[in-house]
Amino acid sequence: MTAEPAALDQWYVLGAIGDFPQGQSSRRLLGTNLAVTRAGDRFTIESNGPPAAVRTDYGHLWTTLGTPARPVFDLPESRESDRRAVYCGAVTVRASGLRLIENFLDLAHFPYVHTDILGTEARPEVAKYEVEQRRDVDELWATKCEFFQPKAAAASEGGQISRYMYRVVSPFNVMLYKTPPAAPDRWDVIALFVQPVEPDLSIAHPYMLVIDDISTDAELIGFQQMIFLQDKIVLENQRPKLLPLQPGRETPTRADLSSVLYRRWLKEKQLRYGVEERTDLA
């Protein structure tokens, strides 16, 4: 499948800066092979045509195969000096990148997929929350999300009602804001940057900006990897592998408010890379 303008005109992550060796290495994005050359802290990225645009924001290498209307999104928390930036390692997932983002937005799966960690089967209810499409910045927000979590983070010592916000900044990039156990008046940031390799194959690059003086890097990474591997199993078994956008193909529930908004937004953007094509419904 050839990527359409809506997919081409976006910024995509290619990996954490630290994962690129000096000299040349290869990456794949939207079905296109890329040659990445690193000389010190300078990068060039080439495919078939002229060199592609390069950005090094938030400790990651970013590029585009088109002409994005906006720069790479802003992440103000990255400038707060008391936060720890944690790279959780790239994870390959045999599913559409859009499925990864949608799963990340879903609160209802916590008790069943992350049992006794991010949720418990005894308290599966998703309380009412708010969703909003901020047209001035072209972002989706879900706010006032609350969920009881037996072990909300690496530093948790018991259950807590966690408060969440979600911020979708582009079809393949999302941030989750969550109350840290140590600082209830601030927000930890857990980002999921997705590199769509093929329509049904993705590399997830989870990244955290957290307020936590207690946990070691290994504990923070280990916690996030455990959660993400639980999601990977579910995502790889989901059918269809691509994301359906036709109404009625998958029945939304109230807990899926953000999913409904996300799908509507993708449709509005005419995003098709990773979307299920239903020729029988055309």
- Least distance from Fe ion to the Cβ atom of residue 230, Å: 6
Q: Which stretch binds Fe ion (CB under 5 A): 56-64, 90-98, 227-235, 261-269?
A: 227-235
Give the whole-angstrom CA distance, residue 64 versus residue 155.
37
* DSSP label of 247: T
Q: Which is nearer to Fe ion, 212 or 231 (CB)?
A: 231
Rule CB under 5 A: choose which of 77, 200, 212, 231 binds Fe ion.
231
Q: Which is nearer to Fe ion, 102 or 231 (CB)?
A: 231
Q: Which stretch binds Fe ion (CB under 5 A): 14-22, 223-231, 248-256, 262-270?
A: 223-231
Neighbouring CB atoms inside 10 A of 258's CB total 24
Judge contact between 171 and 249, C-beta under 8 A.
Answer: no
Q: Which stretch binds Fe ion (CB under 5 A): 10-18, 140-148, 204-212, 226-234?
A: 226-234
- Least distance from Fe ion to the Cβ atom of residue 188, Å: 16
Helix or strand (DSSP H, E) at 220 = helix 217-237
Give the whole-angstrom CA distance, residue 159 versus residue 151.
6
Name the closest residue to Fe ion (Cβ). 231
Q: Which is nearer to Fe ion, 167 or 272 (CB)?
A: 167
Neighbouring CB atoms inside 10 A of 86's CB total 20
- Least distance from Fe ion to the Cβ atom of residue 118, Å: 7
- Least distance from Fe ion to the Cβ atom of residue 109, Å: 6
Residue of 177, 168, 233 whose CA lies nearest to 209: 177
What sign results for the dihedral spanned by CA atoms 62, 165, 76, 69? positive
- Report the site for Fe ion in 238-277 (rule: CB under 5 A): none
Judge contact between 102 and 242, C-beta under 8 A.
Answer: no
- Least distance from Fe ion to the Cβ atom of residue 174, Å: 12
Give the whole-angstrom CA distance, residue 23 versus residue 264.
42
Q: Which stretch binds Fe ion (CB under 5 A): 140-148, 202-210, 224-232, 272-280?
A: 224-232
Give the whole-angstrom CA distance, residue 11 versus residue 55.
9
Binding of Fe ion at residue 102 (CB under 5 A)? no
- Least distance from Fe ion to the Cβ atom of residue 97, Å: 15
Residues near Fe ion, by CB under 5 A: 231
